[in-house]
Amino acid sequence: MKLSRIVSNRNGTSRQRANALIAAGRVMVDGRVCREPQQEVDRFSGVVVDGITVQTPYPARYLMLNKPAGYLSATLDKTHPTVLELFDPELQDGLHIGGRLDRASTGLLILTNDGNWSRRLTEPRIKTPKVYQVTTESAITAEAHQRFEQGIWFEYEQLRTSPAHIEELGERRARVTIYEGRYHQVKRMFHAVGNRITSLHRESMGNIHLDPVLQPGQYRPLTRAEIASV
């Protein structure tokens, strides 16, 4: 919402008067004077006019979960347990998932109530690297390396994935880096080269790495540096 609208609606004044207050330097956003009426201000920012608070910041939550197998990346399901059930009830309100994992997959899962932040983390055009450790049914071939580096054509979306990288850890184990995070992307890429993933574990998204001290089902808040990296 634009700052002028917040000041007008919550300070009981006209939009013209709100603009004048802002231009005069009498409005602060998160402790700093803001003179731009068109400044977009979300619910996580505090707004003060002449020393009086007109918007109290809503607490933003950024959480890292070591997702165990068997949980849906969803907030509600009638059949299966969801990852939201792993969190204390007082943290659950408003949380959504930034980059889902399917029920059988494990590893790094990010949950937040900040939609703008999570969109920056998951938007395919931003090309945030996402790293997975995978086990495959068959040996990983040289053809798989080549086709991943070229990008795989997805018929349903009518697009080619960004180049991806395979680092072999064994005949049927690898660390895979992709830069989009489309629906079941890693599994579909291996399917396209005639192989099948039997286990998938996400290690990192951008500069956010799964904390090695977290056991499956455990979580912690992101650090300031991790939040700022997105």
Closest by CA to 44, choosing from 29, 63, 60, 27, is 60
Which candidate in 30, 102, 114, 211 is catalytic?
Answer: 102
CA pair distance 126, 129, nearest whole angstrom: 9
State the residue for tokens 């998204």: 205
Closest by CA to 149, choosing from 158, 160, 162, is 162
- Ordered alpha helix ranges (H), the chain: 3-11, 15-23, 89-92, 115-122, 142-150, 185-192, 224-228
Q: For this structure, is 102 an active site residue?
A: yes
Which positions are annotated as active-site residues? Answer: 102
